[in-house]
């Protein structure tokens, strides 16, 4: 039986929880949970992973600290070798990798991402894949918005999504729509 471990981190946006497992010397992140206005990250973690143990790892602590710095507005580059894509469907992995490719300070739309990976009329597929993103922040799904400029959803809540985009230099209209010409794909 695989044992899963968790570590909680505090950030400017409440807490987040990293779930991982170890196979000998290899460590893989299974999930990153963000707190949202209704439920804390640790509660989400225990809801999905019934038997997780509090753990400590220098690799996880390093990742957690990078995420904290990112959430404080620093420009941080994340590596993907540590995340476990084996739990993702093929299309979801394609969406996540396309999302990962969107640079800081840029946005894309669900439709553009769908077109990039070859799914016609696939905005909803992309939105659903990102809604289930197991690695928020590492895979910067806050950079995907609706074609009409509205934010769409985000695991940490819409306020967090907007704040993250603002930290990256994205502006908003009085009606809350994204204003930028930095559109990727």
Active-site residues, by number, are 141
Which is nearest to 143 in space by CA: 173, 85, 116, 182?
A: 182
Which phi-psi region, left, alpha or beta, contains residue 139 (left: φ > 0; alpha: ψ -120 to 50)? Answer: beta
Q: Is 156 exposed, middle or buried (0-12, 13-18, 19+ CB in 10 A)?
A: buried
Tokens of 77: 């580059």
Nearest-angstrom CA–CA distance, 166 and 103 = 14
């Amino acid at each position: 039986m695989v044992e899963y471990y968790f570590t909680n981190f505090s950030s400017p946006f409440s807490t987040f929880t990293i779930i991982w497992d170890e196979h000998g010397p290899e460590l893989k992140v299974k999930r990153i949970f963000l707190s949202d206005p209704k439920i804390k990250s640790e509660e989400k973690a225990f809801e999905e992973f019934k038997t997780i143990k509090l753990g400590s790892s220098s690799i996880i602590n390093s990742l957690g600290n990078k995420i904290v710095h990112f959430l404080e507005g620093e420009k941080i580059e994340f590596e993907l070798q540590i995340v476990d894509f084996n739990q993702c469907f093929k299309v979801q992995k394609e969406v996540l990798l396309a999302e990962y490719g969107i640079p800081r300070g840029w946005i894309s739309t669900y439709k553009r991402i769908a077109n990039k990976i070859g799914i016609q009329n696939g905005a909803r597929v992309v939105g659903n894949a990102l809604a289930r993103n197991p690695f928020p922040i590492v895979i910067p799904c806050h950079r995907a918005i609706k074609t009409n400029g509205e934010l769409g959803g985000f695991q940490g809540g819409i306020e967090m999504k907007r704040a993250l985009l603002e930290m990256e230099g994205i502006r908003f209209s009085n009606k809350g729509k994204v204003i930028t010409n930095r559109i990727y794909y």
